[in-house]
Amino acid sequence: MRIALIGQAAFGEAVYRALRDAGEQIVAVSSITGTRERPDALWAAAAADAIPLFPTVDLKRRDVLDAYASTQPELGVMAFVTHILPQRVLVVPAGGTIQYHPSLLPRHRGISAMHWAIRQGEPSTGLSVFWVDAGIDTGPVLLQRQAPIAPDDTVGSLYFDKLFGAGVDALAESVRLVREGRAPRIAQDESHATYEPAADDSNSGIDWSAPAQQVYDLIRGSNPSPGAHAVLAGARVRIFDSRLTLRDGAPAPPGTILGSQDDRIDVALAGGVLHVLRLQRVGGKKLAAPEFAAEPGVVVAGARFEDGAAP
């Protein structure tokens, strides 16, 4: 089958190689380009195989779109796309376009699906491959796979350990089903639909008065990006790798630093203790807790994190 692949980064490259190894004919690739010193992984892989390449940002241009269409794809495959593409790009392939999304649609439509599944304390999520239509993640579902969310999973571990490889396999299977004429189009149940905004600093501030599990879920659901943030000694700090111990009551007012151990900084929560392992002062590097605590007079027992406010 003649495939036009739109994607980027390691996931896009992995999908490209899986489709190529399955014997599909990739006739066009659209991706971000990266830089001369560090080209995007998908861009570089397709360039090495002399596949016609189209910068995704330029697909809105008529001349680029015409050249893209001239490759005559039968199916479009969107692997990891961060650009909003016009509908005319998606209908170029004769058989339409399918897309990977890291949630069980119709739950968690939007660009930060994994973040919100973790932030909302859900025990499981999954992935969907769906037929693209004019809406945002609203098209008919072709295939879905479930994945558990472990109590200490972050966005990073959920993606790389559970949804990356499964997503590559799901897209390859979906293309095979389309080629064989067996791909379903299952309408999404709008009564179960949710949509959340992009996870960014406007919704990643820590409210230390919130229940311990809720604070921890926000931190996990913001790691590795954008990082849940709070204020310490007048400076914004992002908290990344952490662990949680639940207990009745609060050992001190929530947000209070209880002490610094060999590998962590302990912070009081409403109903537990947060063991912080990695932090970052805004504008600085991510540091292990002992390095962060090395600055005199900042991380001391009794000092207190303040709530993180939207910028």
CATH number for position 184: 3.40.50.170
- The reply to whether 173 and 219 lie within a common domain is no
- The reply to whether 25 and 145 lie within a common domain is yes
User: Which domain range does residue 66 map to?
Assistant: 2-192
Query: Which one-letter amino acid corresponds to residue 41?
Result: A
What was the pLDDT predicted at 124? 98
End-to-end Cα, the chain, rounded Å: 48
Query: Shortest CA distance to 269 belongs to which of 253, 292, 285?
Result: 253
What was the pLDDT predicted at 263? 93
What was the pLDDT predicted at 249? 83
Among residues 192, 221, 238, the one where a domain terminates is 192
- The reply to whether 10 and 138 lie within a common domain is yes
What was the pLDDT predicted at 261? 85
What was the pLDDT predicted at 193? 98
What was the pLDDT predicted at 212? 97
- The reply to whether 215 and 282 lie within a common domain is yes
Per-residue pLDDT tens listing for the chain (311 residues): 999 999 999 999 999 999 999 999 999 999 999 998 999 999 999 999 999 999 999 999 999 999 999 999 999 999 999 888 999 999 999 999 999 999 999 999 999 999 999 999 999 999 999 999 999 999 999 999 999 999 999 999 999 999 999 999 999 999 999 999 999 999 999 999 999 999 999 999 999 999 999 999 999 999 999 999 999 999 999 999 999 999 998 889 999 999 998 899 999 999 999 999 999 998 899 999 999 998 877 888 999 999 998 77
What was the pLDDT predicted at 97? 98
- The reply to whether 29 and 118 lie within a common domain is yes
- The reply to whether 163 and 25 lie within a common domain is yes
What was the pLDDT predicted at 58? 96
- List the strands of the sheet with 235-239, edge to edge: 228-232, 235-239, 278-281, 286-288
Query: Shortest CA distance to 22 belongs to which of 139, 136, 163, 178?
Result: 178
Among residues 164, 192, 220, the one where a domain terminates is 192
- The reply to whether 79 and 131 lie within a common domain is yes
- The reply to whether 29 and 162 lie within a common domain is yes
Does residue 278 lie in a domain region?
A: yes
pTM: 0.95
Three-state secondary structure call for residue 128: strand
Q: How many domains does the chain have?
A: 2
Which CATH number do you get for residue 212? 3.10.25.10
Does residue 267 lie in a domain region?
A: yes
- The reply to whether 271 and 134 lie within a common domain is no
- The reply to whether 206 and 154 lie within a common domain is no
Does residue 80 lie in a domain region?
A: yes
- The reply to whether 72 and 214 lie within a common domain is no
- The reply to whether 127 and 67 lie within a common domain is yes
What was the pLDDT predicted at 283? 87
Q: Are 268 and 305 in contact (CB under 8 A)?
A: no
What was the pLDDT predicted at 206? 98
